[in-house]
Amino acid sequence: MSRDSILHRIRTAVGRSADQPPAEAPAARLRIPEVPLEARIASVVARVEALAGKAVRTSDPCAWVAEAIRGKTAVASNAPFLAQCGITGLAGVRSGITDPEELRELCATADVGITGADYVLADTGTLVMLSSGREARMISLLPPAHLAVVERERILTGLDELLTVLPNPAVETSSMVLITGPSRTADIEQILVRGVHGPGQITVVIAD
Amino acid sequence: MSVEFDRKIHATLADTKLQLAIYASTARLKDGRLSSVAPQTLPDYQELRTQANALKKHALENLDYYLEEFERNVVAHGGKVVYCKDGTDVADFVLALAKERGARLIVKSKSMTTEEVDLNERLEHHGLESVETDLGEYILQLAHEKPYHIVAPALHKTRYDVAEIFTHSLHVPSETVPEKQTAIARAVLREKFLAADIGISGANFLVADAGAVVLIENEGNARLTTTAPRIHIAIAGIEKVIPRAQDLATFLKLLARSATGQLLSVYTSFLAGPKRAGEIDGPEEFYVVLLDNGRTKLLPDRSKRQSLYCIRCGACLNTCPVYRKIGGHSFPWVYSGPIGAIITPQFMGVSHEPGLPFASSLCGACAEVCPVKIDIPKVLLELRSDVKKSETREKQNRLEKVAFRVFAWVMTHPRWYELAGRVAAAMAPSEDGGWIRTVPGIMNFGPLKAWLSQRDLPPPPPKSFRELWRRR
Ligand code: SF4
């Protein structure tokens, strides 16, 4: 069997025996800077915009989203926060879907996918999405535009803090995706084109 | 250097359009990297490199342990791990699974590992449709070409080339604006994603303590590949394993910066098993193929082992004065540039292309930019020495072959055999029973001299057996 012969070859090559404990691994390198919330918010806005996304702060996310999706069709995730602030009840918004086939069809035709975010990374402007019953994978992927409404307490300093809060994301979910800006390619002559397979537009609404 | 290698290099050098394309693209990638690792943007860049190097070294020194830990965790999350020794194993596994599940259409996200084993060709040979979905890879699949660069596979194609390829293969009106060309590909490939039965991805990292596959990309095709179809198969080299999810804090910061100059690539997917109870979407089956395909050959030598630290960022290609002149297709295998020059001879054997380790000025630029600090020039030198050794061995072998052919001919021609016996007896040293340590005068040169320098021959008898037999 390939498994045993490959493992055997490896052990012979590196001089280890089966069931031998590993040498001690270098300590994980995690550095979390002190950054006040205001500065973290400012950083998210700056980073998202640097990537040609849109980022806004608002105390009334529902009104802002209503304006942004006027005349468009949208699919919203089951994140409780979206229902709480009334976004799932807006005209043109479908929500509460748990059947993957139904969701796939809706996402394939909707203009906008509306989600929350489990975390946001300030230093890179990254949305962190964990797949669950509240957040499906497709909503931030199939529609041409992705709009994420995030609570400001969710904004972490960066990757190091994320992996400190979630040392092993696999405990929580089968899929964690970090989204940093709109889908893009530079495969033809290194010319930047947005919206190849994923959403070409990304909007981060920070609920104050 | 083989004639083929030489020919391809000269063809690339003579093609001014191609020279410009390579130069401009690598320059852009190179500049992107430079600004994103500058001290004001990433003050701890050097410490991160040191940490990345230490982690890779440690992971490989304990590779069997981490692979088994990875496997345990994948299984705990409801996935399966399949070990494959080569491309035939991989194809057999995928074909058997496709047959069992009645699958016909496969979507693929970019993976150098599958390029290594010609997976598409193998699957298509058995009647499956396997579609590349990364834009660059898709263009190349339509053009029936191999990747030109490990990060920017279609780097050598201009928009006019793409227009021609699309018109010819997709029967669409000619379109030369990259934005519109991208939209054409998006539409065609979207259909494929939604109809596909199986999604095949590579893996940038395998995380042992999580049993997770990490995929890094900008387009979203890897996300679609691993989300839309019912089955996800990740195909990864065994060297991709890292100990902990927390180590991604080190690697993710280095990879995108070194590759394209981004702080993070657009999408980083961390995938641990199939969709779980309570989750809405995602694949129902999850497999990880762990491929050897020659990698274990690189492990015994501690120095050359570092070739397996590579995270395929492409920075060494962009900075290499040789790659930037001779391009990707001059290289004899799927991996090009400095990293190709050190792994190809080790995967394929040094005589696959003996000129390869010499196609470098040893300027050291590659080692300077490598995010995991592989000492590429050192490995190149070691490989040069291997090439020389194998050439000497081969030369010796060739001469020996000639000698034995002459010997066989003499043996089967009695008259000549007898004559040879008499000549030998005449050459024997005068004192009785003395061994032949050298041959006299005119014959004592070159190969025979070299051959005898390590060997002594017993003296031939004064009268041969044949002579004695005749006189009986
Ligand atoms: S050898 Fe180093 S620089 Fe070259 S592709 Fe691999 S990781 Fe990048």
SS (H, E, C) B53-113: HHHHHHHHHCHHHHHHHHHHHHHHCCCEEEEECCHHHHHHHHHHHHHHHCCCEEEECCCHH
pLDDT-flagged residues of chain B (< 50): none
Tell me, using a 6 A CB cutoff, whether residue B314 lines ligand 1. Answer: yes
Residue A97 with chain B: CB contacts under 8 Å: 280
Helix (H, G, I), strand (E, B) or coil at B215: strand
Boundary-marking domain end, from B247, B280, B305: B305
Rounded distance between C-alpha atoms, residue B193 and residue B201, angstroms: 13
Tell me, using a 6 A CB cutoff, whether residue B372 lines ligand 1. Answer: yes
B105 DSSP β-pair partners: B129
Residue A56: alpha-carbon gap to chain centroid:
17
Tell me, using a 6 A CB cutoff, whether residue B238 lines ligand 1. Answer: no
Structure tokens at B32: 């992107």
Rounded distance between C-alpha atoms, residue A202 and residue A52, angstroms: 8
Rounded distance between C-alpha atoms, residue A175 and residue A191, angstroms: 31
Residue A52 with chain B: CB contacts under 8 Å: none
Strands A155-156 and A193-194, by their bridges, are: unpaired
Least Cα separation, residue B393 to chain A (angstroms): 25
Tell me, using a 6 A CB cutoff, whether residue B117 lines ligand 1. Answer: no
Interface test with B, best of A2, A78, A159, A188 (most B CBs within 10 A): A188
Least Cα separation, residue B409 to chain A (angstroms): 44
> How many domains, chain B?
2
Quote the pLDDT of residue B375.
Answer: 97
Residues 78-107 of A with CB under 8 A from B: 78, 97-98, 100, 103-104
Contact (CB<8Å) A26/B51 = yes
Tell me, using a 6 A CB cutoff, whether residue B255 lines ligand 1. Answer: no
Considering only CB atoms, A179 lies closest to which of B152, B246, B266, namely B266
Tell me, using a 6 A CB cutoff, whether residue B315 lines ligand 1. Answer: yes
Boundary-marking domain end, from B305, B338, B360: B305
- Whether residue B396 lies inside any domain: the answer is no
Quote the pLDDT of residue B427.
Answer: 64
- Whether residue B99 lies inside any domain: the answer is yes
- Whether residue B19 lies inside any domain: the answer is no
- Cα separation values, A143 from A107, B88, B138, B260, Å: 6, 38, 22, 26
Ligand 1 atom nearest residue B339's Cα = 1
Rounded distance between C-alpha atoms, residue B421 and residue B429, angstroms: 15
Angle at B292 between CA B57 and CA B144, to 5 degrees: 115
Give chain A's radius of gyration (CA, Å).
21
Structure tokens at B198: 């199986």
The answer to whether the beta carbons of residues B248 and A163 sit under 8 Å apart is yes
| Pure H helices in B144-244 | 159-170, 178-195, 221-227
Structure tokens at A145: 């535009």
Quote the pLDDT of residue B454.
Answer: 59
Rounded distance between C-alpha atoms, residue A126 and residue A169, angstroms: 16
- Whether residue B116 lies inside any domain: the answer is yes
Rounded distance between C-alpha atoms, residue B358 and residue B460, angstroms: 47
Instruction: For residue B2, report the distance from its CA to the centre of ligand 1, in Å.
Output: 26
Q: What is the 3 state secondary structure string of B372-393?
A: CCCCHHHHHHHHHHHHHHHHHH
Tell me, using a 6 A CB cutoff, whether residue B312 lines ligand 1. Answer: yes
Quote the pLDDT of residue B74.
Answer: 98
Interface test with A, best of B35, B182, B206, B286 (most A CBs within 10 A): B182
Contact (CB<8Å) A197/B55 = no
CB pairs under 8 A between A and B: 269
Considering only CB atoms, A13 lies closest to which of B210, B252, B299, namely B299
The answer to whether the beta carbons of residues B233 and B265 sit under 8 Å apart is no
Boundary-marking domain end, from B305, B330, B353: B305
Instruction: Tell me the CATH number at B291.
Output: 3.40.50.10420
Residues 13-52 of A with CB under 8 A from B: 13-14, 16, 18, 20-23, 25-26, 28-31, 47
**Domains in chain A with CATH codes:** 33-207 (3.40.50.10420)
The answer to whether the beta carbons of residues B75 and B81 sit under 8 Å apart is yes
Least Cα separation, residue B422 to chain A (angstroms): 53
Residues in chain B: 472
Residue B302: alpha-carbon gap to chain centroid:
19
Rounded distance between C-alpha atoms, residue A91 and residue A88, angstroms: 9
DSSP A72: -
Q: Which of B48, B310, B344, B366 is the best mutation target for the ligand 1 pocket, counting ligand atoms within 8 Å of the beta carbon and taking the most?
A: B310
Contact (CB<8Å) A176/B67 = no
Say yes or no: B274 contacts chain A, CB-CB below 8 A.
Answer: yes
Spell out the residues 6+ positions from residue B342 whose beta carbon is closer than 8 angstroms to its own: B304, B307, B357, B374, B376, B379, B380, B383
Q: Is residue B295 located within the same domain as residue B433?
A: no
- Whether residue B91 lies inside any domain: the answer is yes
Ligand 1 atom nearest residue B369's Cα = 3
Query: Pick from A14, A151, A208: which is nearest to B300 by CA?
Result: A14
- Compare all CA atoms of chain B with the CA of A179 and give the residue at the minimum distance: B267
Considering only CB atoms, A168 lies closest to which of B66, B245, B262, namely B245
Looking at ligand 1, which residue's alpha carbon is closest to its atom 3?
A: B370
Rounded distance between C-alpha atoms, residue B223 and residue A197, angstroms: 9
Residue A3 with chain B: CB contacts under 8 Å: 83
Structure tokens at B430: 């005068």
Quote the pLDDT of residue B430.
Answer: 59
How does DSSP assign B309-341, residue by residue? G-----HHHHH-TTHHHHTTTTSSSS--HHHHH
Ligand 1 atom nearest residue B150's Cα = 5
Give per-residue pLDDT as tens, B352-403. Answer: 898 899 988 899 999 999 999 999 999 999 999 998 888 887 777 777 777 7
Structure tokens at B466: 């044949």
Looking at ligand 1, which residue's alpha carbon is closest to its atom 4?
A: B316
Contact (CB<8Å) B64/A175 = no
Instruction: For residue B119, report the distance from its CA to the centre of ligand 1, in Å.
Output: 23
Residue A21 buriedness (CB in 10 A; 0-12 / 13-18 / 19+): exposed
Looking at ligand 1, which residue's alpha carbon is closest to its atom 2?
A: B370
- Compare all CA atoms of chain B with the CA of A11 and give the residue at the minimum distance: B64
Segment holding B449, helix H or strand E: helix B446-453
Q: Is residue B297 located within the same domain as residue B432?
A: no
The answer to whether the beta carbons of residues B79 and B274 sit under 8 Å apart is yes
The answer to whether the beta carbons of residues B169 and B188 sit under 8 Å apart is no
Considering only CB atoms, B266 lies closest to which of A28, A47, A181, namely A181
Residue A159 with chain B: CB contacts under 8 Å: 248-249, 252-253, 264
Structure tokens at B104: 């016909």
The pTM score is 0.89
Say yes or no: B263 contacts chain A, CB-CB below 8 A.
Answer: yes
- Cα separation values, B333 from B111, B124, B133, B346, Å: 15, 21, 22, 12
- Whether residue B225 lies inside any domain: the answer is yes
- Whether residue B442 lies inside any domain: the answer is yes
Rounded distance between C-alpha atoms, residue A74 and residue A91, angstroms: 9
- Whether residue B353 lies inside any domain: the answer is no
Count the Cβ atoms, other than its own, within 10 Å of residue A100. 18
The answer to whether the beta carbons of residues B49 and B255 sit under 8 Å apart is no
Torsion sign (Cα): B301, A29, B75, B224: negative
pLDDT-flagged residues of chain A (< 70): 1
The answer to whether the beta carbons of residues B351 and B390 sit under 8 Å apart is yes
- Compare all CA atoms of chain A with the CA of B243 and give the residue at the minimum distance: A25
Structure tokens at A171: 């405990």
Rounded distance between C-alpha atoms, residue A120 and residue A116, angstroms: 10
Give residue B166's identity as a one-letter amino acid code: F
Q: Residue B453's domain spans which residues?
A: 425-470
- Cα separation values, B89 from A1, A23, A157, B116, B124, Å: 11, 32, 44, 13, 16
DSSP A176: E
Query: Pick from B44, B112, B256: which is nearest to A181 by CA?
Result: B256
